[in-house]
């Protein structure tokens, strides 16, 4: 019996199980990656509010830069997924796509390196407290040395994801957690005779862990039987048409991710005008909501692969069905996270700090964060479904409108003009994410409409 003749509830159940089979390792990998930031935040928080504020501002710049690069390289995942769907395995075409993506990875690493090492003028322009700027500058200088490692790791990661192979990323990220903890302890707190570098030591520790992740991923891909047909992992002569094709798909993805991450970064930098305590509270709320976001973000990767493989096999009906199953699952996940934030905000914030003033502000921010959890899940899931259809340019313009024509102006108006403080800045996040969720889901509904193919 084909799936088109099965009862709808059985088809939905089978698809959800397939999404979870691929998505759970991706969610775990994303969550483990975010736990690295959680470790940084907690260890900085127990040093001082100043160290926590430095890590918060540094992360607000580093994370969008990293996510923008991730988005560009994410083009490799649907590209390989379509090749996999058409041929049933990863072959020479996937190897060629990977090798050309290494040129993009190298360029992105260079751009990130130069950007992170020249951020002090922007911090002054944003009127960040003068007491924080030297520490933030030192943190960014240190972590910039991990840029080549993170872009190489991303390229190899998306090769694996396009083939539906998510476990290596999960294992590597889990192995990175104790390494990050140890490196932070040595470099931030000055164990084993090393100088105590505080927040700047956190940047150096992160760079070292990024290098470890890249080495482990190279070892896996070079020795896995799954990838023997790919050919060597090396930087070949550039194939400009192939690079242009990857960039045509990846640049809008990177821009869309950067637009969202940039909104959060702009709110964080604006928060710096209120001083160390609101900045530290913002970092706590942003870190916890970021960890919750890793679940639908990981699922969106699975949605992109499932939709992409169906589209690569020429079955648009199945691609649409898979996309909407994934979107519904993401919405359900984020409803649970919203409930947790509403019921236990104080318990959550006390995991990060014992400063009563910081706890009070962070608790109020988590209450606001609960309001955008559902929207955040729907927008990232719809973006994954669209990515599986290789539709990236229109979603980029939609996110530009949602986050920067609506989200940031609302944040600026309520937070700075009406002087609502930290909570006012977060109202813009709620507005932008809700608008993005509505527009991206309507886009997927529109372009995935069936054209008569049978579902398999």
Tell me the DSSP string of 206-224.
HHHHHHHHHHHHHHHHHH-
* Residue, of 282 and 113, whose pLDDT is higher: 113
Q: Which of 34, 353, 350, 41 is nearest to 188 (CA)?
A: 41
CA distances for 123 relative to 130, 189, 278, 323, 351, angstroms: 9, 26, 17, 40, 29
Burial 112-146 (b: 16+ CB within 10 A, else e): bbebbeebeeebeeeebbeebbebbbbbbbbbbbb
Rounded to whole angstroms, the Cα distance separating 68 from 258 reads 5
Rounded to whole angstroms, the Cα distance separating 301 from 77 reads 8
Identify whether the C-beta of residue 99 lies closer than 8 Å to the C-beta of residue 235: yes
In the chain, where are the structural domains located?
Answer: 3-447
Band of pLDDT at residue 108, cut at 50, 70 and 90 = very high
| C-alpha torsion sign, points 210, 227, 100, 253 | negative
Is the pLDDT assigned to residue 450 strictly greater than 80?
Answer: no
DSSP string, 123-141: HHHTT--TTTHHHHHHHHH
Q: What pLDDT is recorded for position 401?
A: 93
49-73 and 276-312 helices cross at what angle (nearest 10)? 20
Quick: pLDDT tens for 123-176.
787 777 777 788 888 999 999 999 999 999 999 988 888 777 778 888 998 899
Burial grade of 167 (CB within 10 A; 0-12, 13-18, 19 or more) = middle
CA angle 425, 430, 435 (to 5 degrees): 130
CA angle 46, 48, 52 (to 5 degrees): 85
Band of pLDDT at residue 456, cut at 50, 70 and 90 = very low
Identify whether the C-beta of residue 386 lies closer than 8 Å to the C-beta of residue 308: no
Rounded to whole angstroms, the Cα distance separating 409 from 429 reads 10
Q: Which of 355, 359, 348, 304 is nearest to 327 (CA)?
A: 304
Is the pLDDT assigned to residue 5 strictly greater than 60?
Answer: yes
Half-sphere exposure of 241 (CA within 13 A, CB side): 0
Q: What pLDDT is recorded for position 65?
A: 85
By percentage, how much of the chain surpasses pLDDT 70? 93
* Residue range 414-443: mean pLDDT, rounded: 87
* Residue range 220-225: mean pLDDT, rounded: 85
For the chain, what is the largest distance between any 2 Cα atoms, rounded to a whole number of angstroms?
Answer: 69
Is the pLDDT assigned to residue 2 strictly greater than 60?
Answer: no
Band of pLDDT at residue 381, cut at 50, 70 and 90 = very high
CA distances for 275 relative to 147, 330, 352, angstroms: 29, 35, 18
Is the pLDDT assigned to residue 434 strictly greater than 90?
Answer: yes
CB atoms within 10 A of CB 75: 27
Identify whether the C-beta of residue 357 lies closer than 8 Å to the C-beta of residue 426: no
Q: Virtual CA dihedral for 110, 113, 116, 120, nearest 10 degrees?
A: -90
Is the pLDDT assigned to residue 452 strictly greater than 80?
Answer: no
Identify whether the C-beta of residue 122 lies closer than 8 Å to the C-beta of residue 255: no
Rounded to whole angstroms, the Cα distance separating 359 from 232 reads 52
Non-local (6+) Cβ contacts of 125 within 8 A are: none
Identify whether the C-beta of residue 181 lies closer than 8 Å to the C-beta of residue 128: no
| C-alpha torsion sign, points 412, 418, 420, 423 | negative
Rounded to whole angstroms, the Cα distance separating 294 from 42 reads 18
Quick: pLDDT tens for 358-369.
888 888 888 888
């Amino acid at each position: 019996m084909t799936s088109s003749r099965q009862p709808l509830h059985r088809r939905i159940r089978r698809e959800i199980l397939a999404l979870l089979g691929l998505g759970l390792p991706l969610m775990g990998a994303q969550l483990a990656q975010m736990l690295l930031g959680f470790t940084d935040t907690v260890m900085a928080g127990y040093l001082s509010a100043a160290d926590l504020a430095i890590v918060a501002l540094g992360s607000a710049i580093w994370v969008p830069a990293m996510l923008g690069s991730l988005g560009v390289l994410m083009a490799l995942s649907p590209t390989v997924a379509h090749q996999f769907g058409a041929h049933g395995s990863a072959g020479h075409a996937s190897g060629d796509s990977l090798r050309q993506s290494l040129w993009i990875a190298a360029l992105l690493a260079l751009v990130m390196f130069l950007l992170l090492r020249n951020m002090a003028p922007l911090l002054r322009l944003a009127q960040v407290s003068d007491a924080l700027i030297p520490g933030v500058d030192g943190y960014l200088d240190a972590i910039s040395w991990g840029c080549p490692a993170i872009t190489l790791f991303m390229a190899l990661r998306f090769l694996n994801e396009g083939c539906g192979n998510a476990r290596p990323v999960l294992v590597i990220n889990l192995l990175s957690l104790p390494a990050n903890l140890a490196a932070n302890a040595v470099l931030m707190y000055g164990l084993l005779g090393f100088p105590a570098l505080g927040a700047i030591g956190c940047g150096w520790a992160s760079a070292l862990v990024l290098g470890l992740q890249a080495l482990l991923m190279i070892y896996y891909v070079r020795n896995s039987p799954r990838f023997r047909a790919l050919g060597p992992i090396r930087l070949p002569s550039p194939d400009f048409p192939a690079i242009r094709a990857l960039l045509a798909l990846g640049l809008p993805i990177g821009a869309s991710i950067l637009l969202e991450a940039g909104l959060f970064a702009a709110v964080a930098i604006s928060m710096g005008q209120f001083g160390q305590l609101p900045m530290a509270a913002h970092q706590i709320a942003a870190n916890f909501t970021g960890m919750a976001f890793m679940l639908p973000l990981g699922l969106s990767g699975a949605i992109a692969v499932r939709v992409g493989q169906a589209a690569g096999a020429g079955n648009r009906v199945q691609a649409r069905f898979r996309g909407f199953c994934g979107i519904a699952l993401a919405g359900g996940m984020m409803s649970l996270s919203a409930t947790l934030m509403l019921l236990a905000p104080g318990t959550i914030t006390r995991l990060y700090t014992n400063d009563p003033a910081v706890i009070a502000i962070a608790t109020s921010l988590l209450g606001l964060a609960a309001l955008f959890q559902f929207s955040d899940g729907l927008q990232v899931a719809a973006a994954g479904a669209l990515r599986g259809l290789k539709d990236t340019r229109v979603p980029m313009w939609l996110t530009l409108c949602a986050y920067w024509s609506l989200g940031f102006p609302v944040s600026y108006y309520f937070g700075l003009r009406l002087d609502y403080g930290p909570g006012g800045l977060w109202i813009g996040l709620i507005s932008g994410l809700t608008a993005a969720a509505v527009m991206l889901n309507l886009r997927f509904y529109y372009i995935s409409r069936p054209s008569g193919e049978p579902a398999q």
